[in-house]
Amino acid sequence: MRQLLLIFLISIPNFIFSQFTFSPETQISDNTTGYGRPRMAITANDIPVIIWFKEGSSQSIKISRGSGSATFSLPTDVVNSDLEPTGFIGPEIAAKGDTVYIAFICGAQNNAIMLKKSFDGGITFSDTIRVSPNDNAYKYSMPNVAVTEDGNPIVTYMKCLANYTNWEQMVKVSFNLGLSFSDETDASAIAAGVPCDCCKSTIVSQGNNVFLIFRNDYNNVRNMYISKSIDEGLSFTATQDLDDLNWVINSCPTSSGNGVVNGDSIMVVRRNAGSGVHQLYISNINTTDLQKSYFKELDPIGTGLQDKAEIAGEGSVYGMVWHDNRSGNNSCYFSYTTNGINNLSVSIEMSDSTAIGHKMFPDIEYSNGKFFFVYKYNTGHSIIYKELDLSNFNAINTSNNTEKKLLKTTDLFGRESAPKNNVPYFSIYKDGSVEKKVIVE
């Protein structure tokens, strides 16, 4: 006997499950010009600028700039091979308007942390500017960069002794558009333990407040932390453990957290495997006292590994991307909201589902109602770019439509599928409601 068991009924805004279409994919680079971990920034007039690491005998950092019509300039070197750019988690890029900064490791100068800047939207760049001290007693790695509201760069990097001990998360700020930098500040010193030695930190700024998000190591509990500065990054006076689950692991997981300003809070997404499952969690962190309002799974998968999460957004619109291996190979997924985190969409495969092999290291930006994406198609030896314009379907889907019409059924991962006996599934209706069901045989 077949019985239909209705597990629960929830109402979800209609736009979350509306059918929408990503833009056609654009290939930015191939095997000849490299395809290592692409990063992206959006400049004035919503022009994307993409950088990536070209591996091989003549390593360099490549750049390609969009035209505004889904076409891109041919890849060129923004950091030449004679500087020996290196690092397995770099480089990074940030922009505000047409001010663009790139932070990278210069292997030709004892792995110094360097900066290049552009004031014309990434068309031309300055000579390299040294950020880390010129001191061979230390090693430097994993730089990151952010831009303040007035266009100044903040750079963070890891520092250790020459024997790779005594790791610190350092922050340096500039008040003259990168001409010079403050003395370095250890933003991790106020946290118990030491920073995880191969997890890049992330900077978030809001007025005079600067926040550093980093993975800490306290007796092999490797949770995500946040430290706060109220003097534009010159000193850090408060810190907080962000995770409810203690992730105990005796080696660095090479997994960073990312955050974005959310009004008087910071939305933070990161990986934690304290439950035994390597999955992503999201929290909203109060900028005043660093207390989180929740610690929730972003997209539960049960088994597998989720990682390399990025987040972007503003106002009430936020989007997150990551890669995981739920389908056997790594693919890139996307989840978003236009009305608060409780209305977060089910995950959607952002990378090309018809492409065979691994799709990895996604990045995301948001501007003027549009999400911008880039990812590495590892098996295809290429970098792929695409967009998602929210305005088209948000405008035509309203909560006033109460027609109870089935749109589709999906599995618990958001993939369209036909109902199967004894396997829970979602029925998604035109009025925005969702029913979770299982047919018991």
Give one DSSP letter per residue of 67-130, joined into a string.
-SSS-BPPPEEEE-GGG-EE-TT--EEEEETTEEEEEEEEGGGTTEEEEEEESSSSSS-PPPEE
Across 342-346, 360-364, 386-390, 419-423, least confident range: 419-423
Number of helices and strands in the chain (H, E)? 1, 34
- How many Cα atoms are found within 13 Å in the side-chain-facing hemisphere of 410? 15
Burial of 259 (0-12, 13-18, 19+ CB in 10 A): buried
CA dihedral defined by 67, 73, 77, 79, rounded to 10 degrees? Answer: 10
Q: Of 14-18, 141-145, 326-330, which has the strongest mean pLDDT?
A: 141-145
pLDDT tier at 425, thresholds 50, 70, 90: low
Residue 9: pLDDT over 70: no
* pLDDT value at residue 436: 61
Residue 34: pLDDT over 90: yes
Instruction: Tokens 């950091």: give the residue.
Output: 79
Query: Do strands 209-217 and 194-195 pair parallel, antiparallel, or not at all (unpaired)?
Result: antiparallel
* pLDDT value at residue 403: 42
* pLDDT value at residue 398: 32
Distance CA 343, CA 337 (A): 6
pLDDT tens per residue, range 220-279: 999 999 999 999 999 999 999 999 999 999 999 999 999 999 889 999 999 999 999 999
CB-based contact 271:304 (threshold 8 Å): no
CB-based contact 425:403 (threshold 8 Å): no
* pLDDT value at residue 342: 75
238-251 b/e with 16+ CB inside 10 Å = b? ebbbbbeeebeeee
Of residues 91 and 435, the one with the higher pLDDT is: 91
Residue 431: pLDDT over 60: no
% of the chain with per-residue pLDDT over 90: 76
Of the candidates 338, 283, 276, the one whose C-alpha atom is nearest the C-alpha of residue 309 is: 283
Domain 29-405 bears CATH identifier 1.20.1440.230: no
Of residues 333 and 425, the one with the higher pLDDT is: 333
* pLDDT value at residue 416: 66
Across 14-18, 119-123, 330-334, least confident range: 14-18
CB-based contact 157:143 (threshold 8 Å): yes
**Which residues, at least 6 apart from 60, have a Cβ–Cβ distance to it below 8 Å?**
34, 54, 77, 79, 80, 81, 85
Residue 433: pLDDT over 90: no
What residue type is assigned to position 251 of the chain? S
pLDDT tens per residue, range 60-113: 999 999 998 889 999 999 999 999 999 878 899 999 999 999 999 999 998 999
Of the candidates 112, 168, 167, 172, the one whose C-alpha atom is nearest the C-alpha of residue 136 is: 112
* pLDDT value at residue 16: 42
Q: Rg for the chain (alpha carbons), in Å?
A: 22
Distance CA 153, CA 146 (A): 6
pLDDT tier at 429, thresholds 50, 70, 90: low
Average pLDDT over residues 370-377: 98
Distance CA 344, CA 272 (A): 20
Query: What is the pTM assigned to this prediction?
Result: 0.86
Average pLDDT over residues 361-379: 97
Of the candidates 292, 266, 120, the one whose C-alpha atom is nearest the C-alpha of residue 207 is: 266
Distance CA 419, CA 277 (A): 26
**Domain ranges across the chain:** 1-18+406-441, 29-405
**Which residues, at least 6 apart from 251, have a Cβ–Cβ distance to it below 8 Å?**
none
Instruction: Tokens 């792929």: give the residue.
Output: 384
* pLDDT value at residue 316: 87
% of the chain with per-residue pLDDT over 70: 86
Residue 14: pLDDT over 80: no
> Given CA atoms 236, 242, 248, 252 in this order, what sign does their dihedral have?
negative
Chain-centroid distance of CA 78 in Å reads 22
**Mean pLDDT value across the chain:** 89
